[in-house]
Structure formats: structure tokens, C-alpha cells
Structure 1
Amino acid sequence: MSGTQTLERAFLLLRVIAASGQQGASLDELRAAIGCSQATAYRLLQYLRRQGFVRGAVPRGRYVLGYELFALGAQAGNASALRERARPVLLRLAQRFGDSFFLLVADGHQVLCLDMLAGELPVQSYSGAVGGRIPMGVGQASQVLLAWLGRSERNEILAHNAATLRLDYGLEVERITASLPSVKRLGYASGLVDKRLPGYTGLAVPILDVSGQPLGALSCALARPRMTDARRQALAQVMKEEAQRLVVALES
């Protein structure tokens, strides 16, 4: 087995273990998932365990993610201090409006939730939790991130995600693209209704650096009946102000 193949299988093991949740994954389940012998799966598991990426679960014989991944993730998620500086922003927004607020960034063809703060009312969101990923094109944060990307990069991302957007969310690329000029003109996105979470909406604003490139997006999620015109305008104004304040803090 080549070094590249070993690395690919180790990463696949981690993803399978992550998907197994709190109950963990057994050696047999992992072996079947990566298509190798029991001995090979066991060697990979023991190596990952020594590095702190995997640990034993209860009951015995099952495996969950190790704490070293948490430590690495905390560092990766705070590149340029964005997550650290955004935390007080999310807190102020949640306290003021009572809704759930999120910090999201573009990561290849996906949007990644770097942080979130739940509001007073329970809400469903596309990303689900910190570390959650969604295809670029889904949700209001995707809209603002796409609106400020270059055309060629945006078109490549949407072409790559087109089938997933259509089949899983009922979103057509043409509809997403048509919404972007308005998003850029208004400076915020309100999201497009899809078949996955039709009862929820939200609002997102871009976090733009001094050159106008998107560092990420601030987003909120709430039940659709709560999004009155007055609330939308209030959210847009305050979230824009907070995004600008965040950029100043990052530059200081």
C-alpha cells in the first residue's frame, strides 16, 4: 500500500468515525467502509490513536474522534483571528435580536460554519452546528459569498454543485445566479426558498477585507413568519455595521 493510499484511507477512516457520532464505529464497520483487510484497518486505527486523532469509545471495541482533532480544528478555525474576533459580534447580535447567528466561510465548493450562537428560539439551519458544511449555493451566506467572488470562480463552483443543488435542495443554478446582482446591490442576502428547509429564512452580510474580497459572512436563521420587512431592514443595518466593525478589529 503506497503512502498516498495509506493517507487517503486514514482520512476516510476519520470521516467514517465522525459520521458515526457518539456511538462510534467498530473495526468491522471501518474495514468495510474503506475496503481493506481487518489487519490494515487495525494498523491505521492504532496509528491514529497514538497521534490522538482517535480514541476508544464505550462500549469497548468502538472508536470515536480524539481530542487532538479538536485542538487542530480550533487553530484552523481561527485563521487570521476571524473566529475569535467574530465571537463578540455573534453574542451582541443574538442578544439584540434573539435569533441564531452564524459565522461562515467559503471552503472550496462548500460553505463551512466556523462558529454559531443559538438564540432564544429553536431553529433549524443548513449547517447544523459548528464544523457543519453545506454546498455553496445553499442558504443566504452562500449568496453573499458567491456575489463577491469573481465570475469564473463562481461559475466553476456552481457548475460543480449543480446536480446536488437541484436534486437535494430543488435549487437551479440559473435561479441562484439571477439573484446575485440584487444581493450585491443591497449588500445582503435573504436566501432562496428550497425544499430542504422551506419554513425557515434568514439574512446574511459579507465580511469584506480592504480590497473588497469576502473573508466570510455573518448570517442569521429564523422561522419565516418572523421575518417581517421591518425586521429584515433592522437586521441588515445592524449586521452590516457589525461586519464593518469586525474588519476594523481584524486590521488593528
Structure 2
Amino acid sequence: MSGTQSLERAFLLLRVIAAAGQQGASLEELRAVLRCSQATVYRLLQYLRRQGFVRGAQQRGCYVLGYELFALGAQAGNASALRERARPVLLRLAQRFGDTFFLLVADGHQVLCLDMLAGELPVQSYSGAVGGRIPMGVGQASQVLLAWLGRTARNEILAHNAATLRLDYGLEIERIIASLPSVRRLGYASGLVDKRLPGYTGLAVPILASDGQPLGALSCALARPRMTDTRRQALAQAMQDEARRLVIALGEQGA
């Protein structure tokens, strides 16, 4: 087995273990996904375990992610101190409005939830939790990130995700593209109704660098009946103000 193949299998193994959650993944489950011998899977597991990337689950014979991944993720997720600086922002917004607020960033063809702070009322969200990913094009954060991307990059991302958006969410890329001029004019996105979470809505604003490029997005999620026109305007104003303050804080830290 080549070094590249071993690396690919190790990454796949970590993703399968992550998807298994707290109960963990068994050796047999991992072998079935990797389609290789039990001895090979066991060897990879032992190597990852020595590095701290994998550990034994409470259920004997199963594996969960190790704490070393948490340590690495905390560093990777705080590039340019965005996550650290945004945490008080999410706290202030959640306390003021009682809704759940998110910090999301573009990551290739996907949107990654870098941080979130739950409000008083439980909600469902596309990303689910910190570290969750959704296809770019889904949700209001995707809209604001796409609206401030260059046309070439935007079109490539949407073309890549077109089948997933249509089949899993009932979203056509033409509908997404048609919404973007309004998003730029208003300075925020309210999301497009899809078949995955039709009972929920939200609002997102871009976090824009001095050159106009999106560093990420602040987003909120709430049940659709709660999104009155008055609440939408209040959310948009507060989140835009917080996004501007956040960019200033990031600039001062980098100075």
C-alpha cells in the first residue's frame, strides 16, 4: 500500500468515525467502508491512536475521534483570530434577540460552521453544529458569501454543486443566482425556501475585508413565523453593525 493510499484511507477513516458520533465506529464498520483487510484497518487505527487522533469509545471495540483533532481544529478554526473575535459578537446577538447565531466561512465548494451560539428557542439548522458543512448555495450565509464572490468563482462553485442542490434541497442554481443582486443591494440575505427545512428561515450579513472580499458571514436561524418585517430590519441592522465592528477589531489586532 503506497503512502498516498494510506493517507487517503486514514482521512476516510477519520470521517467515518466522526460521522458515527459518540457511540463510535467498530472495526468491522470501518473495514466495510474502507474495503480493505481488518489487519490494514487495525494498523491505521493504531497509528492514529498513537498520534492522538483516535481513541477508544465507551463501547468496547469502537472508536471515536481523539482530542488532538480538537486541539488542531481550534487552531485552524481561529485563522486571523476570526473565531475568537466573533465569539462575543454571537453572544451579544443571542442575548439581544434570543435566536441562534452562527459564524460561517466559505471552504471550497462548501460552507463551514466555525462557531455558533444557541438562543432561547431550539432551532434546526443546515450545519447542525460547529464543524458542520453544507453545500455552498444552501441557506442565507451561502447567499451573502456568493453575492460578494467574483462571478467566475461563484459560477464554478454552483455548477459543481448543482446536482446536490437540486436533488437534496430542491434549489435550482438559476434561482440562487437571480437572488444575488438583491442581496448585494440590501446588504443581507434572508435565504431561499427549500425542501429540507421549509419551516425555518434566517438572516445573514457578510463580514467584508477592506478589499471587499468576504471573510465569512454572520447568520441567524429562527422559525419562519417569528420573522416579521420589524424583526428582519432589527436583525439586519444589528448584525451589520456587529460585522463592521468585527472587521475593525480584526484590523486593529493585525496592525
Whole-angstrom CA distance in 2 between matches of 1:244 and 1:59: 47
- The one-letter code matched in structure 2 to 1:106 is A
Whole-angstrom CA distance in 2 between matches of 1:38 and 1:217: 43
* TM-superposed deviation, 1:32: 1.0
Q: Which residue of 2 aligns with 1:12?
A: 12
SS at match of 1:189: coil
* TM-superposed deviation, 1:56: 0.6
Q: Which residue of 1 aligns with 2:200?
A: 200
Q: Which residue of 1 aligns with 2:131?
A: 131
Aligned residues: 252
Q: Which residue of 2 aligns with 1:140?
A: 140
Matches within 5 A, 1:121-200: 121-200=121-200
- The one-letter code matched in structure 1 to 2:225 is P
* TM-superposed deviation, 1:60: 1.4
Whole-angstrom CA distance in 2 between matches of 1:168 and 1:140: 17
Q: Which residue of 2 aligns with 1:105?
A: 105
Q: Which residue of 2 aligns with 1:35?
A: 35
- The one-letter code matched in structure 2 to 1:57 is A
Whole-angstrom CA distance in 1 between matches of 2:80 and 2:110: 20
Whole-angstrom CA distance in 2 between matches of 1:40 and 1:192: 45
Whole-angstrom CA distance in 2 between matches of 1:82 and 1:142: 18
Q: Which residue of 2 aligns with 1:48?
A: 48
Identity %: 89
* TM-superposed deviation, 1:59: 1.9
Matches within 5 A, 1:69-80: 69-80=69-80
> What do the CA deviations read for 1:28-50 (whole angstroms, capped 9, x no partner)?
11111101111111100000000
Whole-angstrom CA distance in 2 between matches of 1:128 and 1:29: 24
* TM-superposed deviation, 1:163: 0.3
> What do the CA deviations read for 1:175-212 (whole angstroms, capped 9, x no partner)?
00000000001000000000000000000000000000
Q: Which residue of 1 aligns with 2:120?
A: 120
Whole-angstrom CA distance in 1 between matches of 2:100 and 2:182: 24
* TM-superposed deviation, 1:58: 1.6
Whole-angstrom CA distance in 2 between matches of 1:84 and 1:34: 36
SS at match of 1:21: helix
- The one-letter code matched in structure 2 to 1:39 is A
- The one-letter code matched in structure 1 to 2:125 is S
Whole-angstrom CA distance in 2 between matches of 1:205 and 1:61: 45
SS at match of 1:30: helix
SS at match of 2:201: strand
**TM-score normalised per structure 2:** 0.98
Aligned-pair RMSD on alpha carbons? 0.5
In structure 1, list runs of 5 or more residues that go unmatched: none
In structure 2, list runs of 5 or more residues that go unmatched: none
Q: Which residue of 2 aligns with 1:212?
A: 212
Whole-angstrom CA distance in 2 between matches of 1:29 and 1:230: 51
Structure 1 runs (4+) greater than 4 angstroms displaced: none
Whole-angstrom CA distance in 2 between matches of 1:175 and 1:112: 22
Q: Which residue of 2 aligns with 1:24?
A: 24
**TM-score normalised per structure 1:** 0.99
- The one-letter code matched in structure 2 to 1:89 is V
